[in-house]
Amino acid sequence: MTAHDFVRAGAAAIAARAGRELEALVAVSSPSGDVQGADEALALCAALLPAEAEVARIPCSTPSSADDLLARMRGTGSRRVLLLGHIDTVVGHDSQGPLRREGDRCFGPGTADMKGGVVLAIGTARELATRPDYFGELALLLVTDEEWRTQEFAHVQRFAGYDACLCFEAGERGPGGAEGVVVRRKAAGTLRAIAAGRPAHSGSAPDQGANALLALARAAVAVAKLHQPDGPDRLSVVPTVMRSGAAFNVVPDTGELICDLRADRAEVFGSVLAAVPAELDEVKLEARMERLWPGMDSRAATSATLERASERAGRPIVGVRRGGASDASHFATAIALTIDGLGPRGGGAHTHEEFVLSSSLGDRAEVALAVALEVLEG
């Protein structure tokens, strides 16, 4: 069987099972932080892996989360490749429901981000396992805390020295409708500002208080003025959460503001942090960065690989950029040949209308196998 035949036949085998496997995985509610849901989802993933896989649970980067899953397959080749994904979702139990099909769209929590990608990663591992002469070691890492991690990512050094990292976040179309994979991502940061004011009766003595809510609102406006997604660093500053007050008739004395930051360079986040004043109208504000993920730019390291993988797939596979954060960015600091966005195409991530396109499962399986083969044989 030629490599081209292997890609076609393997993708067809993956696609034949992917719909049912995605339905089963989506049926398991696994929001970030839920240990039981993560354990159930990973048990299902382990059952879908090839018999040759050595499966272990390893400590997660977030101590309160369920252990991550690491599967290893040993081959007779020389190259080592990591397949990467996560099973935690943003949507909580109260919004969980079974997979819903409407035409080509499969709706459900985590379908695009990233249970659809996990299904394709497992399918890719199954197909590659039939050809152990292609690889020296094939590893699959599924983590349980990608959507909410604030601690340092624990697994980078474990895989330092691997030849490639392939991450299965959702795929997309590139220019001209070509199959797109992600080779550039922004750095991501979470800014949290804590307010300490002074309480007072909001009816009889409103001016005796120091209003934490108003101070936080002004701080939100101040940092949002730095939002320049079309600027030189493509900096986005988006206030996302504000909490303050406990009673309708009390001047709120405490509160917090959370902002999501993205930019090509993490260094520019310092200007946003500095824009939060230390005090506003007698309310003290303490701002800090709680989550800082590196950016990713693997364009130079991956261009030749994608060009040759396009020949294997029989159509163009191009590198694209995306603003969302991914664990691939962490691995790109240690594995130069890191390619993301190998999952199915879809949309609505982090919303109640999240979906993947059923028709993309086979197409993206071909992309994943073509890229994997080129990495292993190139």
Residue 258 pLDDT greater than 80, yes or no = yes
Residue 94 pLDDT greater than 70, yes or no = yes
Contact 13, 21 (CB under 8 A): no
All structural domains of the chain, each given as residue ranges with its CATH number in brackets, are: 3-185+295-377 (3.40.630.10), 187-293 (3.30.70.360)
Closest CA to 313 of 360, 359, 364: 364
Residue 378 pLDDT greater than 90, yes or no = no
Q: Which residue has the higher pLDDT, 96 or 46?
A: 46
Q: CA triplet 189, 193, 196: central angle to 5 degrees?
A: 170
pLDDT tier at 84 (50, 70, 90 boundaries)?
very high
Structural tokens at position 153:
């990512």
Contact 172, 88 (CB under 8 A): no
Distance CA 298, CA 312 (A): 21
State the pTM of this model. 0.92
What is the rounded average pLDDT of the residues 153-165?
96
Alpha helices in the chain (DSSP H): 3-26, 35-48, 116-129, 212-224, 269-274, 299-313, 327-332, 360-377
pLDDT of res. 45? 98
pLDDT of res. 96? 76
Phi and psi dihedrals of 317, rounded to 5?
-120, 120
pLDDT tier at 93 (50, 70, 90 boundaries)?
confident
pLDDT of res. 119? 98
Write out pLDDT tens, residues 265-323.
Answer: 999 999 999 999 999 999 999 999 998 999 999 999 999 999 999 999 999 999 999 98
Distance CA 272, CA 189 (A): 10
pLDDT of res. 95? 74
- SS3 at position 124: helix
Q: Which of 1-10, 232-241, 307-316 has the lowest mean pLDDT?
A: 1-10
Residue 3 pLDDT greater than 90, yes or no = no
pLDDT of res. 324? 82
Distance CA 165, CA 371 (A): 11
Eight-state DSSP code of residue 77: S
pLDDT of res. 22? 98
pLDDT of res. 91? 83
Write out pLDDT tens, residues 169-227.
Answer: 999 999 999 999 999 999 999 999 999 999 999 999 999 999 999 999 999 999 999 99
pLDDT tier at 1 (50, 70, 90 boundaries)?
low
Structural tokens at position 41:
């989802």
